[in-house]
Amino acid sequence: MELKSGKKIRGKEKGEEMNSNVKETQTRTISLIENLDKAIFVIEKITRKKAEGVVSVSREEDITKFIVEVLERKSIPDTQDILSIYEMNFNSNMEIMDYNKIGMRRRSDMFVQEED
């Protein structure tokens, strides 16, 4: 294969390997986005409130843990909004196993997750 600069790429193996890595990364990214969307959908259905976003995602064995912030009370100014923080655990099939409200904060306050 000729490049416009006149340099040749030797063989297809390296290019095919790079394409495979890109496709795998894209697949993982799409899968992560789908899982984030599912976590947001589930918490909104459970709480009947608007999720503000996913703060954290971690995986241990077959359990995926999401930390999600939910708008509890809208205020003026926005910095006084009250947000709840939920921990949600999903199995490997992305079925919810459990969830817990682990805290609340004003939007203007920083959320600091305590280490176990």
Region 46-60: mean pLDDT is 93
Whether the Cβ atoms of residue 79 and residue 108 lie closer than 8 Å to each other: yes
pLDDT at residue 111, rounded to an integer: 65
> Could you tell me which residue, 10 or 21, shows the higher pLDDT?
21
pLDDT (tens digit, 9 = 90+) per residue, 26-40? 566 668 888 899 999
Residue 69: how many CB atoms within 10 A of its CB? Answer: 21
Whether the Cβ atoms of residue 83 and residue 69 lie closer than 8 Å to each other: yes
Which range, of 20-24, 37-41, 63-67, averages the lowest pLDDT? Answer: 20-24
Give the 3-state secondary structure of residue 43.
helix
Cα gap 71→64, rounded to integer Å: 23
Kindly state the DSSP code that residue 3 receives in the 8-state scheme.
-
- Backbone phi, psi, residue 19, to 5°: -60, -40
Q: For the whole prediction, is pTM greater than 0.85?
A: no
